[in-house]
C-alpha cells in the first residue's frame, strides 16, 4: 500500500495533465477489471461487472493535484505564475516545484515581506537556474504547469507527501479492485477523474456518460485535531469519515445510514464529516442527468493542499474495508 501510494504521489499530474498518473493506474488494474476506457476528458473508467445489472454504481477518486501555471517569463529568466486549484502563496515560500515533470525550480517572493496575509502569487517567481529569458524558454513555455517537488515519507504510522489529495483515494479504489473476493452486487464503475481541483470538471462528463444510480466519491477531507485548528469533528486515525455535507452536496441520508450500519456491523471505526470548505466529485454525481443517490467516504487529512499533506495508514485500510462492504452489500433501503 505504502509503495503504491509512493508511486502515485511521486507521479506528475496537475489538473489538465493527468496522463502519467492515468497510465500508472491503468497498469495496476487493467488485468482485474471487465472493461476499461478513457473518455474524451481523460477520465479513466474501469468496470467490474456485478451479480445484478439492474443498478449502476459509480466510484470517483480524482487523479489530478493542485499546481502552478507559467504566465510570463522575465528577461532574467524568472518564471511568473498563477495557481491551478487551491494553492496558498505562503505554502510556496522556499518550496521546490517541478515543471512538466522534469524541470526543478525554487520559489521566492519580490522584496521584503511585512505581512504574509498580503502575499500574492503575482509577487512571487520561480527560479529554474536560467540566466536569460531565452535559456528559460528552452525548458518552460507559457502555460506549462508545475507541481510541488516532494517525496513521500513515512512518519510514525502516517504518510506525508504532496498529492495525497487525491492519490490516496485513487489507491483506495485500486486496492478495493484488487481485494474484492467476489463480484460486486451491482455493475460498479471505478472512475479516476480529471480536473477535480479546478471545479470537479471530469466528474461532470464521466457521470453523464455512466448515468449512475449510486455515486460514491473517495477523497481527502480536513481535520480539526491540530493546534488551534478551525473546529471540525474529524481526527486523523479515527477511521474513514462518512460524508454528510460539503459545499457541493447534501448526502443522501439512506446511503449515509447504509455506510454507518455497515461500519458498525463490521466493526470498522468511522466518523461523520461536515466539511465547510470545498466541494468534491460527490455533488457532480448527485446532479448528473436526472440525479443519483450520492455520498462519499472521506480520508482524514492534515495540511491538505500543502507540500506535506498527512494521512494515517489505518484510515486508509479502514476506508478500503468500508468501501468493499458497501460494494458487496444489498444496498438496503436505497431503492
Residues that bind Co ion (CB under 5 A): 165
In the list Co ion, Zn ion, none, the entry touching 175 (Cβ below 5 to 8 angstroms by class) is none
CA separation (Å) from 283 to 150, 200, 208, 249, 286?
31, 9, 13, 5, 5
17 binds, among Co ion, Zn ion, none (CB under 5 to 8 A by kind): none
- Residues lying near Zn ion in the complex (CB under 5 A): 165-166, 219
Of the pair 66, 214, the CB lying nearest Zn ion is at: 66
Cβ at position 74, least distance to Zn ion in Å: 33
Q: Say which entry of Co ion, Zn ion, none residue 64 contacts (CB below 5 to 8 A, set by partner kind).
A: none
Shortest distance, position 169 Cβ to Zn ion, whole Å: 7
Residue 18 interacting entry, from Zn ion, Co ion, none, C-beta within 5 to 8 Å by type: none
Q: Which residue is nearest to Co ion (CB)?
A: 165
> C-beta of 127: minimal distance to Co ion in Å?
27
Q: Toward Co ion, which CB reaches closer, 78 or 303?
A: 303
Minimum distance, C-beta of residue 6 to Zn ion, in the bound complex (Å): 18
CB 219 to Zn ion: min, Å = 4
Nearer to Zn ion, 275 or 322 (CB): 275
The full 3-state SS of the chain, as one line of letters, equals CHHHHHHHHCCCCECCCCHHHHHHHHHHHHHHCCEEEECCCCCEEEEECCCEEEEEEEEEEECCECEEEEEEECCCCCEEEEEECCCCHHHHCCCEEEECCCEEEEEEECCCCCCHHHCCHHHEEEECCCCCHHHHHCCCCCCCEEEECCCCEEECCEEEECCHHHHHHHHHHHHHHHHCCCCCCEEEEEEEECCHHHCCHHHHHHHHHHCCCEEEEEEEECCCCCCCCCCCCCCCCCCCEEEEEECCEECCHHHHHHHHHHHHHCCCCCEEEECCCCCCHHHHHHCCCCCCEEEEEEEECECCCCCCEEEEHHHHHHHHHHHHHHHCCCCCCCC
CB 166 within 8 A of CB 219: yes
Which CB atom, from 139 or from 284, has the smaller least distance to Co ion? 284
Catalytic-labelled residue, pool 196, 197, 238, 273: 196
CB of 67 or CB of 184, closer to Co ion: 67
Which of 192/331 has CB closer to Zn ion?
192
Dist CA 171 CA 1 (whole Å): 8
Which option in Co ion, Zn ion, none does residue 281 bind, with CB closer than 5 to 8 A by kind?
Answer: none
Query: Least distance from C-beta 17 to Co ion, angstroms?
Result: 16
**219 touches which of Co ion, Zn ion, none (CB within 5 to 8 A by kind)?**
Zn ion
- Map grid coordinates 469519515 to a residue: 241
Task: Based on the residue annotation, tell me whether 196 is a catalytic residue of this protein.
Answer: yes
Residues with catalytic function: 196
Amino acid at each position: 500500500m505504502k509503495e503504491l501510494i509512493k508511486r502515485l504521489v511521486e507521479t506528475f499530474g496537475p489538473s489538465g495533465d493527468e496522463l502519467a498518473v492515468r497510465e500508472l493506474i491503468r497498469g495496476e488494474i487493467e488485468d482485474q477489471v471487465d472493461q476499461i476506457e478513457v473518455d474524451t476528458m481523460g477520465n479513466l473508467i474501469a468496470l467490474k461487472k456485478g451479480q445484478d445489472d439492474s443498478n449502476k454504481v459509480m466510484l470517483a477518486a480524482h487523479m489530478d493535484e493542485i499546481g502552478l501555471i507559467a504566465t510570463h517569463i522575465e528577461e532574467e529568466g524568472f518564471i511568473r505564475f498563477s495557481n491551478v486549484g487551491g494553492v496558498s502563496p505562503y505554502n510556496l515560500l522556499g518550496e521546490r516545484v517541478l515543471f512538466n515533470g522534469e524541470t526543478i525550480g525554487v520559489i521566492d517572493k519580490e522584496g521584503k515581506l511585512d505581512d504574509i496575509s498580503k502575499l500574492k502569487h503575482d509577487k512571487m517567481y520561480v527560479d529554474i537556474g536560467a540566466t536569460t529569458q531565452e535559456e528559460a524558454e528552452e525548458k518552460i513555455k507559457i502555460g506549462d504547469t508545475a507541481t510541488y517537488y516532494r517525496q513521500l515519507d513515512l512518519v510514525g504510522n502516517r504518510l506525508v507527501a504532496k498529492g495525497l489529495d487525491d492519490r490516496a483515494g485513487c489507491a483506495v479504489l485500486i486496492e478495493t479492485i484488487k481485494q474484492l473476493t467476489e463480484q460486486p452486487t451491482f455493475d460498479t464503475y471505478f472512475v479516476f477523474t480529471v480536473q477535480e481541483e479546478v471545479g470537479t470538471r471530469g466528474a461532470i462528463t464521466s457521470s453523464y456518460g455512466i448515468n449512475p444510480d449510486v455515486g460514491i466519491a473517495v477523497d481527502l477531507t480536513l481535520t480539526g485535531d491540530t493546534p488551534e485548528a478551525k473546529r471540525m469533528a474529524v481526527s486523523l486515525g479515527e477511521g474513514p469519515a462518512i460524508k454528510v455535507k460539503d459545499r457541493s452536496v447534501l448526502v443522501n441520508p439512506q446511503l449515509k445510514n447504509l455506510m454507518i450500519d455497515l461500519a458498525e456491523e463490521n466493526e470498522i471505526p468511522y466518523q461523520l464529516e461536515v466539511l465547510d470548505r470545498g466541494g468534491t466529485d460527490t455533488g457532480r454525481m448527485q446532479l448528473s442527468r436526472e440525479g443519483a443517490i450520492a455520498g462519499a467516504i472521506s480520508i482524514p487529512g492534515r495540511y491538505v493542499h500543502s507540500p506535506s499533506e498527512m494521512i494515517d495508514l489505518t484510515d486508509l485500510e479502514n476506508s478500503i474495508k468500508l468501501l468493499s462492504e458497501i460494494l458487496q452489500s444489498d444496498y438496503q433501503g436505497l431503492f
